[in-house]
Homo-oligomer: A and B are copies of this chain.
Amino acid sequence: MPTIVVEVMPKAELLDPQGKAVAGALHRLGKSEFTAVRIGKRFELTVDGPVSDDLLADVRALAENLLSNTVIEDVISVHMLDIETIPAGGTH
């Protein structure tokens, strides 16, 4: 069944305490090449039936209104899941 992916990230101008904690952990592990970490959300919506442009527009509206808090988050991407883009060894 087709799957639509919605990606939401904390706004760039806001602090992301969870990301800051991970960045701190990486530094303590000696991984100083990472200057920042931000943590957002990734939604997979499974659709029963074909995905029309109308449905994608609908999902875009849902992403703004229901799936994200636009005061603190940005919807950065709404796209169809392309099965081929998942690397072979990625899922186990």
Q: Which residues of A contact B (CB under 8 A)?
A: 1, 7-9, 19, 22, 25-26, 29, 31-49, 55, 58, 62, 66-67, 74-79, 85-87, 90-92
Contact = CB atoms under 8 A, between A and B. Distances in A.
18 contacts: A9-B44, A22-B43, A22-B67, A26-B62, A26-B66, A31-B58, A31-B62, A33-B55, A34-B45, A34-B48, A35-B46, A37-B45, A39-B43, A40-B42, A40-B43, A40-B44, A74-B90, A77-B90
Give this chain's copy count: 2
A44 B38 contact: yes
Contact of A90 (B34, B37, B66, B75): B75
Contacts of A41: 39-42
A-B pairs, top 4 by smallest CB distance, nearest first, are: A36-B46, A42-B42, A40-B42, A38-B44
A36 B35 CA distance: 36
